[in-house]
Amino acid sequence: MEKLVNLVADLKEKEINKEVDQLLMDGHDPRDILDACRKAVSIVGDRFQNGEYFVPDLVLSGVILNDVFNKVKPKIKSSNENQTLGKVVIGTVEGDVHDIGKNIVNLLLDVNGFQVIDLGVDVPPEEFVRAVKEEKPLVLGLSGLLTLAAQAMKDTVDAIKEAGLRDQVKIIIGGAVADQNLKEFVGADEFGKDAQDAVTFAKKFL
Amino acid sequence: MRKQPEELYAERVKRFKDTIELKETDRVVVAPLFQFFPVFHAGYTVKDVMYDFSKAYNAAKETILEFDPDMCIGPLAYPGKALELLKYKLLKWPGHGVKDDKSYQFVEDEYMRSDDYDHFLDDPSDFMFRKYLPRVCGALEPLTMTTSAHDATWLGLFSYVAMFGQPGVINALEALTKAGQEFLAWYGSLGKFNMEMKELGYPNMVGGFAFAPFDVIGDTMRGTTGIMLDMYRQPDKLLKAIEKVTPWTIETAINSAKAAGNPVVMFALHKGADGFLSPEQYETFYWPSLKKVMLALIDEGLVPFIYSEGEYTTRLELLADVPKGKVIYHFERVDIYKAKEILGGIACLTGNVPNNLLYTGTPEDVKDYCRELIDVWGKGGGFILDAAAVIDEAKAENIKAMIDFTKEYGVYK
């Protein structure tokens, strides 16, 4: 497993496939393979944080992880839900369809043990309200790239307030549009300047 | 006595030109690049102006006349009817996926697939006509039923032409000609705008448009995820494709600037921002071809206006490797001190006033920001004051503060 962790962390895509096939053939528990991948992607996250890795590395690691999941998952017989640290509801706010940043955040939250409920892009405020009501997440993540996302983020937070749910959830804003200024305008709890920040804040709110 | 428009026009062109050439001027040039701000300010929706060129035209003109910046920019609203006729998939726009008062949104996909490189490299026009256009425009989907024009010799010509008689293909060609007429009308309106603004004394900031070759492949063909994976999985083919599009990029840029009669060529840079490529990837895949295009334009007497989006601090040293006084570098987010230290005396700087601030801040906040920027970037000349990105949502009083304050505070003694 140590070898697989290193291969995934080093993004050796071709060798990973062979290694996973070998491990399965040798009778290893598919769940251990998934755990090894999670561990590896968490190393990828650290390397990103340290400036060794960049966005393309994260995108590639997401693809690698997905491929391994798809290969290994059918082989898991009884899938009891993994223990999670907590739920995060996330989405790109209304009017904005950018999702690459959000998807990276999803990946990092997932490998750090959070259960991520992704509402997708161009999500209207009422959809966020519904999800917060039903899922009772620890954290709500609002993503946006464009300036139009500023008002949409504020509208979303206002809708959460009106629904009487603001005290029950921490709100993090992220994406190119997010800064201290916007955090105050929107009424969020934190703003993240990169994907790793989302994990740091989510852990802080545990 | 009030100056005549032609006098003001000449004065503004000279101030702009001297600023690019890093010469001493009377004051800092202020040239905010508006996108939908004029539309909202005039009380229109995005939908209104995409379907009525005269509304787009008047809104853009009124904003320039009201706020009186040094340079103007044409109405940046795409023609809705033409996009509708083509069933264009690269954008969502009002009535087609976004609300009437919202800006359009770019829809990324792998319109060129990972196994399309060979076709593209072998016969790019054939790939574009029979694969790319049908994927990007729903109305052109039937073009997949045509065959390659390289078969059109002798009897091959008969069977080649026969494919154009199919009902689906007839519809596609009809959509193409109708959309063509819409685009011609739209370009006509933009041309008329330039003429009238010139008569009113305002030079257009932008003549032609171009893209970095990496973005040509990444933006509308392979998509962000696609091109990022190609750097690992098929780097040689990606590099060949970049090499292939470089001369076309140069040609298109030169032609568009010449058609506009304005030497400034704007490059909206997308996928080379800090973090989006590692330094090695930027130096391998992004910068060499971009630099090649820039130098070719400079040789033609044109001015590359490099409009970077996102953070760009880690790229500054590379950007410094261009001839002096020939390039405008726009930054959305950058360490302004480092940018001046590294690029000052080499290229003209612009951008950086946060669009969030223009939307959520007060005129005092805006002035404070502009003061610092003028102090740092304006020192010794070579600076144009502008927002960090094209301006959509913003408070009118903040736009006014940005422009008036620059004229008052940005004076060189």
Shared domain for A20 and A62, answered yes or no, is yes
Q: Residue B97: inside a domain, yes or no?
A: no
Shared domain for A67 and A90, answered yes or no, is no
Residue A18 DSSP one-character state: H
C-alpha dihedral (A19, A24, A26, A30), degrees to nearest 10: 110
Structural domain range at position A29: 2-75
pLDDT level of residue A41 (50, 70, 90 thresholds): confident
Confidence (pLDDT) at A77: 64
Closest CA to A90 of A178, A205, A203, A170: A170
Shared domain for A95 and A22, answered yes or no, is no
* A49: closest chain B residue by CA: B275
**What residues of A are in contact with residue B359 (Cβ under 8 Å)?**
147, 150-151
Shared domain for A71 and A100, answered yes or no, is no
Q: Looking at residue A60, which CATH number applies to its domain?
A: 1.10.1240.10
Tokens of B48: 């209104």
User: Which residue, of A75, A102, A134, is where some domain finishes?
Assistant: A75
Q: How many CB atoms lie under 10 A from the CB of residue A201?
A: 18
Q: Residue B162: inside a domain, yes or no?
A: no
**What residues of A are in contact with residue B392 (Cβ under 8 Å)?**
146-148
For every residue of A116-133, DSSP letters joined together read EEE--SSB-HHHHHHHHH
> In one letter, which amino acid is B403?
I
Confidence (pLDDT) at B268: 95
Distances (CA, A) of B214 to A55, A178, B94, B124: 16, 27, 29, 16
Tokens of B228: 């990022």
Shared domain for A63 and A97, answered yes or no, is no
Which one of B33, B35, B102, B280 makes the best mutation probe of the A interface by having the most chain A beta carbons within 10 Å? B102
Shared domain for A66 and A91, answered yes or no, is no
> In one letter, which amino acid is B74?
G
Segment B144-171, tens digit of pLDDT = 999 999 989 999 999 999 999 999 999 9
Provide, rounded to the nearest whole percent, the portion of chain B with pLDDT above 90.
95
Burial state string for B260-293 with b = 16 or more CB within 10 A and e = fewer than 16: bebbbbbbbbbbbbbbbbbeebbebbbbbbbbbb
Confidence (pLDDT) at A178: 85
User: Which residue, of A52, A75, A98, is where some domain finishes?
Assistant: A75
Distance CA A97, CA B230 (A): 23
Q: Residue A81: inside a domain, yes or no?
A: no
Q: Looking at residue A135, which CATH number applies to its domain?
A: 3.40.50.280
For every residue of B235-276, DSSP letters joined together read HHHHHHHHHHHHHHHHHHHHHHHHHHT--EEEEEE-TTSBTT
Shared domain for A107 and A188, answered yes or no, is yes
Segment A136-158, tens digit of pLDDT = 999 999 998 877 788 899 999 99
Query: Reading across the β-sheet that carries A114-118, which strands appear in turn?
Result: A114-118, A86-92, A139-143, A170-174, A190-192
Q: Is the pLDDT of residue B27 over 60?
A: yes
Residues in B whose CB is inside 8 Å of some CB of A read 92, 97-99, 102-103, 105-107, 224-225, 228-229, 231-233, 275-278, 281, 310, 354-357, 359-361, 389, 392-394
Tokens of A105: 């955040």
Does residue A155 sit at the B interface (CB-CB below 8 Å)?
Answer: no
Nearest to B357 among A95, A96, A181 (CB): A181
Does residue A96 sit at the B interface (CB-CB below 8 Å)?
Answer: yes
Tokens of B394: 């913003």
C-alpha dihedral (B45, B47, B49, B53), degrees to nearest 10: -160
Tokens of B254: 């030169």
Tokens of A7: 């291969």
**What residues of A are in contact with residue B393 (Cβ under 8 Å)?**
147-148, 150-151
Distance CA B283, CA A137 (A): 42
How many residue pairs from chains A and B have C-beta atoms closer than 8 A? 79
Confidence (pLDDT) at A82: 58
How many angstroms away from the CA of B279 is the closest CA of chain A? Answer: 9
Provide, rounded to the nearest whole percent, the portion of chain B with pLDDT above 70.
100
Confidence (pLDDT) at A78: 53
Instruction: State the Rg of chain B over Cα.
Output: 22
Instruction: State the Rg of chain A over Cα.
Output: 18
How many angstroms away from the CA of A71 is the closest CA of chain B? Answer: 20
Burial state string for A91-121 with b = 16 or more CB within 10 A and e = fewer than 16: bbbbbbbbbbbbbbbbbbbbbbbbbbbbbeb
Predicted ipTM?
A: 0.89
CA B396 to mean position of chain CA atoms: 24
Distance CA B282, CA B375 (A): 31
Max mean pLDDT among A40-54, A131-145, A179-193, B338-352 falls in B338-352
Does residue A176 sit at the B interface (CB-CB below 8 Å)?
Answer: yes
**What residues of B are in contact with residue A182 (Cβ under 8 Å)?**
356, 360
How many angstroms away from the CA of A80 is the closest CA of chain B? Answer: 32
**What residues of A are in contact with residue B229 (Cβ under 8 Å)?**
56, 59-60, 63
pLDDT level of residue A98 (50, 70, 90 thresholds): confident
Confidence (pLDDT) at B206: 96
Does residue A49 sit at the B interface (CB-CB below 8 Å)?
Answer: no
For residue B113, the SS3 value is coil
Structural domain range at position B388: 5-80+182-409
Residue B376 DSSP one-character state: H
Q: Determine which helix (DSSP H) or strand (DSSP E) holds B331, and give its type and residue range.
A: strand B328-331
Does residue A44 sit at the B interface (CB-CB below 8 Å)?
Answer: no
Shared domain for A51 and A97, answered yes or no, is no
Residue A206 DSSP one-character state: -
Segment B345-365, tens digit of pLDDT = 999 999 999 999 999 999 999
Q: Determine which helix (DSSP H) or strand (DSSP E) holds B362, and give its type and residue range.
A: none
**What residues of A are in contact with residue B97 (Cβ under 8 Å)?**
122
Q: Is the pLDDT of residue B292 over 60?
A: yes
How many angstroms away from the CA of B275 is the closest CA of chain A? Answer: 5
Q: Residue A80: inside a domain, yes or no?
A: no
Tell me how many domains chain B contains.
Answer: 1
Q: Is the pLDDT of residue A112 over 90?
A: no
Nearest to A146 among B103, B107, B228 (CB): B103
**What residues of A are in contact with residue B276 (Cβ under 8 Å)?**
54-56
Segment B253-275, tens digit of pLDDT = 999 999 999 999 999 999 999 98
How many angstroms away from the CA of B107 is the closest CA of chain A? Answer: 8
> In one letter, which amino acid is B154?
W
Residue B2 DSSP one-character state: P
| Residue with the larger pLDDT of the pair B135 and A80 | B135
Q: Is the pLDDT of residue A81 over 90?
A: no
Lowest mean pLDDT among B105-109, B308-312, B324-328: B105-109
Confidence (pLDDT) at A9: 95
In the predicted model, what is the mean pLDDT of residues B323-329?
A: 98
Q: Residue A172: inside a domain, yes or no?
A: yes
Closest CA to B147 of B138, B155, B156, B139: B156
Shared domain for A95 and A69, answered yes or no, is no
Q: How many CB atoms lie under 10 A from the CB of residue B41?
A: 19
Does residue A182 sit at the B interface (CB-CB below 8 Å)?
Answer: yes
User: Which residue, of A40, A75, A110, is where some domain finishes?
Assistant: A75
Distance CA B348, CA B22 (A): 7
Confidence (pLDDT) at B240: 98
Distance CA B33, CA B355 (A): 11
Does residue A185 sit at the B interface (CB-CB below 8 Å)?
Answer: yes
Nearest to A97 among B92, B99, B357 (CB): B92
Shared domain for A98 and A191, answered yes or no, is yes
Residue B346 DSSP one-character state: T
Shared domain for A184 and A113, answered yes or no, is yes
Which one of A96, A147, A177, A196 makes the best mutation probe of the B interface by having the most chain B beta carbons within 10 Å? A147
Q: Residue A31: inside a domain, yes or no?
A: yes
Does residue A63 sit at the B interface (CB-CB below 8 Å)?
Answer: yes
Tokens of B91: 């954008």
Tell me how many domains chain A contains.
Answer: 2
Shared domain for A91 and A191, answered yes or no, is yes
